[in-house]
Amino acid sequence: MLDIKFICDNPELVKDNIKRKFKEYKLPLVDEVIALYTEKCAAVNRASELRANRNKISKQIGVLMGQGKRDEAEDMKKLVNEQAAELKALEEKETELTKKVTEIQMKIPNIVDKSVPVGRDDSENVEVEQFGEKSVPDFEIPYHTDIMAMFDGIDKESAGRVAGEGFYYLMGDIARLHSAVTAYARDFMIDKGFTYCIPPFMIRSNVVTGVMSFEEMDAMMYKIEGEDLYLIGTSEHSMIGKFIDTITPEEKLPLTLTSYSPCFRKEKGAHGIEERGIYRIHQFEKQEMIVICKPEESMDWFNKMWSYSVELFRSLDIPVRTLECCTGDLADLKVKSYDVEAWSPKQQKYFEVCSCSNLGDAQARRLGIRIKGEDGKKYLAHTLNNTVVAPPRMLIALLENNLRFDGESYSVAIPEALRPYMGGKEVITTEK
């Protein structure tokens, strides 16, 4: 969320940013919010005048009463009552206008970093770098749910009866691989100096609107009926919310945390081969990382965070690439974002497994996350987040890239990094 004074002082810059994101339908919001804020300021100023006048008149009434001039004092009291009614109306108007201004502020996109490529949608995202050699197997790779089924590792049919589409049971070695990946990712981030955390899996509406745009909220979040609670779509929401209305001394920064949680998403409009199986589901588990830091350090942390994901995937023998999201593919709160994509030998293309984002001070402004400098002055923090691993997609990449076939049976080579979490197993096989 942009500061309202920044919007008023830089309307053309804000409009140009909206055009760079190809969201021209939001252009009228700039003039609208400036007009409402100007009206609010006029109401605030008039209310301040009335309060000052009330205090002045109150003193005059006391003097007149002391002089026995009761009639003049009564006339003054009538004036105070008339102005009190006007003041009440102005205070109500100020509250209403403040609400409207904030609602529009939250719809205006954050200023995108100058380095972000201009593009309309994800088809115009730009590859930054590839890591690892893309495998081209000499046998046909089965679809990922079929691979899991070979190892008696998935049951979507029963899950469909229990919970409907978008759910699954993981079983046996496949379930164990899932847990191994999350445990390894947890320890990987702890070794990077991050503090491990298990957060609440539900958050209140003020946290939801503090961490994401209204469009994202409607497309993702499940509301708990009858309560002011939402199921989290990612633990980033709960983790950033941890610092709502806080002031952190500068010397304690950066705050670096890694969190485990289940995640719940509506996943509206999912379709196609990448949406079948367990690509897009309503419930999954994830290891996340967040950073809260000084503004001048946020880009350094951005580069560290996406590189951690690359390092982790490469340690599991999975080729990846980083892709920079263009202006039109950035959510409104984001300043800059990279997707880390894993190689799919089945599809012979990359698919998204991590998303690293720098949100500048947008979330901090909405949630009141402030830093106290050495000089005692307070300023807004910068917030960043990145997926460490989301095991459903990680499992797809892990299984496809480590699948072996000897002409009779299939096996999956367990990367060395995961073996301590798999009881020392080096391979799982379909042989009975």
The pLDDT score that the predictor gives to residue 49 is 86
Q: Nearest CA to 82 among 53, 124, 111?
A: 53
Query: CATH top-level class for 4-105?
Result: mainly alpha
The pLDDT score that the predictor gives to residue 83 is 76
Q: What is the pLDDT of residues 172-199, one digit of tens each?
A: 999 999 999 999 999 999 999 999 999 9
What Å distances lie between residue 245 and 237, 242, 290, 366, CA to CA?
A: 15, 9, 17, 9
Q: What are phi and psi of 152, to 5 degrees?
A: 50, 45
Q: Where are the alpha helices (DSSP H) in 222-317?
A: 235-241, 298-314
Domain-wise residue ranges, the chain: 4-105, 122-429
3-state SS record for 317-363:
CCCEEEEECCHHHCCCCCCEEEEEEEEECCCCEEEEEEEEEECCCHH
The pLDDT score that the predictor gives to residue 273 is 43
Tell me the C-alpha distance between 308 and 3, whole Å. Answer: 32
Give me the CATH code for the 122-429 domain, please: 3.30.930.10
Which residues, 6+ apart, have CB-to-CB distance to 283 below 8 Å? 163, 166, 167, 262, 263, 264
Q: Return the bridge partners of 343, or none.
A: 350
Mode of pairing for the β-strands spanning 255-264 and 195-197? parallel
The pLDDT score that the predictor gives to residue 365 is 96
DSSP 41-97: HHHHHHHHHHHHHHHHHHHHHHHHHHTT-HHHHHHHHHHHHHHHHHHHHHHHHHHHH
Mean pLDDT across the chain: 91
The pLDDT score that the predictor gives to residue 276 is 62
3-state SS record for 146-204:
HHHHHCCCEEHHHHHHHCCCCCCEECHHHHHHHHHHHHHHHHHHHHCCCEEECCCCEEC
Cα angle vertex 49, ends 45, 50, to 5°?
A: 120
Q: What string of pLDDT tens digits covers the 432 residues of the chain?
A: 899 999 999 999 999 999 999 999 999 999 999 999 999 999 999 898 888 877 777 767 666 676 777 677 666 667 777 778 888 889 999 999 999 999 999 999 999 999 999 999 999 999 999 999 998 888 999 999 999 999 999 999 999 999 988 899 999 999 999 999 999 999 999 999 999 999 999 999 999 999 987 777 777 889 999 999 999 999 999 999 999 999 999 999 999 999 999 999 987 544 444 456 777 788 999 999 999 999 999 999 999 999 999 999 999 999 999 999 999 999 999 999 999 999 999 999 999 999 999 999 999 999 999 999 999 999 999 999 999 999 889 999 999 999 999 988 999 999 999 999 999 999 999 865
The pLDDT score that the predictor gives to residue 217 is 79
